[in-house]
Amino acid sequence: MSANTNLVSRLKEINEIGIALSYQQDINSLLELILEASKRITHADAGTLYLHDPVHKTLRFEIVRTDSLSIAMGGVGGAPISFMPVDLYDKEGRPNHATVVSHTALSGETVNILDAYTAQGYDFSGTKKFDAKTGYRSRSFLTVPMINHEREVIGVLQLINAQDRESGEIVSFSTEDRQLVESLASQAAIALTNRRLIRQMEELFEAFIQLINTAIDDKSPYTGGHCERVPLLTMMIADAITRTQTGPLKGFVMTEEDQYELKIAGLLHDCGKITTPVHVVDKPTKLHTLFDRIDLIVTRFEVLKRDAEIEMLKKLDAGRRIQDTGFGMPDAERDSIRAEYEARIRQLDDDREFLRLSNIGVEKMPEADRQRVLRIAAYQWRDSSGKMTNFLTDNEVENLNILFGTLTGAEREIINRHIDVTIKMLESLPWPKHLKNVPEYAGGHHERMDGKGYPRGLNREQMSLQARIMGIADIFEALTAKDRPYKSGKTLIESLTILGRLKLNGHIDPDIFDVFIREKVYVEYVKLFLSPEQIDEVDLNTIPGINPGV
């Protein structure tokens, strides 16, 4: 092969490597690609890639390869690297130009050495010790700085023992080798810097999301952790679908980008709650606003009890005055007045305790209890203005008679509006192509398969599989959550039973439910987040909606 033909071939390879560098996303794979490509175009037997650690002011070994000794350390499949980093400065802060790699990192200069054993000006004692231990003979060295577009040395590429392509003899690195590796190192530095910048932006973005979720969860001790658990369960379900071998969802595949997009959607699925008022998000009891108004009602009971006592004393005093006229009140009548008073006090105490209990949210308030609230509301008392009025206000009756949980219809509407806000917030962001579906995924977790959900009333065919996955994750997390104000976390059997019913009534996706059961996603989840008393033995035959053979 002529010199020109060889050069054209190597330039073509450099171009192909540059294209590969632009596509590689994983940093470890990228580093390995850089070193292996450099060894290949120079026909080097060995090489090391170092990265600059600006915090500790060192060069850190990242990839080490020596083909003739079958040494492969670092990178994707290599053994762990045990070598200590190379210091760029001594203890007094003076630059270390003793070793060729530290000199290259500090100066930004390429160093081409014919033979390490005869070279002057650099300390190769470490190299010689390695050779003595392994029987290797290090000769030619090409040490090239990796300089990015900001003119920063971010690493050093060192190649060892160039080999003649025909005879295999160890030769020096040529001027062409130097130029080609410098070109490759420059491309690699830019590719690596860009990859790092992208990762830093991703980390910053995720940290910002976590900041929002922390603010949401800190608004309420009762929903803390929800924004963490739902994304995790979402990804568990998605992973289960990708590995399922049967059913309509067989063959569903998610790339790394798809998985990241779903993860981000999961983290942001409740971001709209940041605008929900604290007194609604964190409403532990039915009468709670800025404080629990049950204490005001308890005080009114004391007023009624005082009035009952005054009424009793008035009746007894009237009897005493009658007795003074010579027409005495019978003992039986006095006993009856006292008995009536005591019965009234017992009734008021009982009603007070009943309202205390009614103030605590339940999953469904009995109709008889709601009627009793209305009867108590009709009691009359004299308010602070001296006016006789009903014992409970209309607002208090509305709250105490909440059928489910602690929220009124209006408050539940406020809570439900968080999904509208979520969609509005997410659709306003300039999403990159690989995250363009985040608003749809995150905004669909309250929709139903039968079109009766909110906020858009979408049906199954109008929703992505990812949004349907998130819907099941959100429900199962809510069922099993131990940190709600009006209920303890349901047991596993109770939660699966409800989930099965939701499948049958068109609320959740039936195919995803089947995978959830068949792949036992619930088993993995409960081990992480449920308390021991919630985890009971599951007999799938008792769970509604289970397909035969699951």
Q: How does pLDDT run along the chain (550 residues), one tens digit per residue?
A: 555 656 666 666 666 666 666 666 677 887 888 888 889 889 999 999 999 999 999 999 999 999 999 999 998 888 999 899 999 999 999 999 999 999 999 999 999 999 999 999 999 999 999 999 999 999 999 999 999 888 899 999 999 999 998 899 999 999 999 998 998 888 888 888 888 888 888 889 889 888 888 887 777 665 667 888 999 999 999 999 999 999 999 999 999 899 999 999 999 998 888 888 877 877 888 998 888 999 999 999 999 999 999 999 988 887 776 555 555 677 788 889 899 999 999 999 999 999 999 999 887 899 999 999 999 999 999 888 889 999 999 999 999 999 988 889 898 888 888 899 999 999 999 999 999 999 999 999 999 999 999 999 999 999 999 999 999 999 999 899 876 655 677 899 999 999 999 999 999 999 999 999 999 999 999 999 998 899 898 888 899 998 765 5
Is-contact 322 329, C-beta < 8 A?
A: yes
Residue 166, judged by CB atoms within 10 A of its CB (0-12, 13-18, 19+), counts as exposed
Residue 228's pLDDT is what? 86
Quick check: pTM over 0.75? no
pLDDT of residue 525: 94
Peptide bond into 455 cis (omega under 30): yes
CA distance 451 to 462: 9
CA distances from 417 to 262, 271, 531 (A): 22, 11, 32
**Upper half-sphere CA count for residue 335 (Cβ side, 13 Å):** 3
Pairing mode of beta strands 111-113, 141-147 = antiparallel
- Where are the chain's structural domains? 3-197, 219-254+436-542, 294-406
Distance (Å, whole) CA 286 – CA 411: 11
Cα–Cα distance measured from residue 521 to residue 530, given in angstroms and rounded to the nearest whole number:
14
CATH topology of domain 3-197: Beta-Lactamase (3.30.450)
pLDDT at residue 11, as a whole number: 66
Please tell me the predicted confidence (pLDDT) of residue 416: 85
- pLDDT, residue 5, reads 57
**Cα separation of 254 and 260, whole Å?**
10
The whole-angstrom separation of Cα 128 and Cα 236 is 52
Question: Do 219-254+436-542 and 3-197 fall under one CATH topology?
Answer: no
What kind of fold does domain 219-254+436-542 have according to CATH?
Hypothetical protein af1432 (1.10.3210)
pLDDT, position 351:
96
pLDDT of residue 486: 55
Please report the pLDDT score of residue 442 as a whole number: 95
pLDDT for the residue numbered 187: 82
User: Looking at residue 232, what is its pLDDT?
Assistant: 95
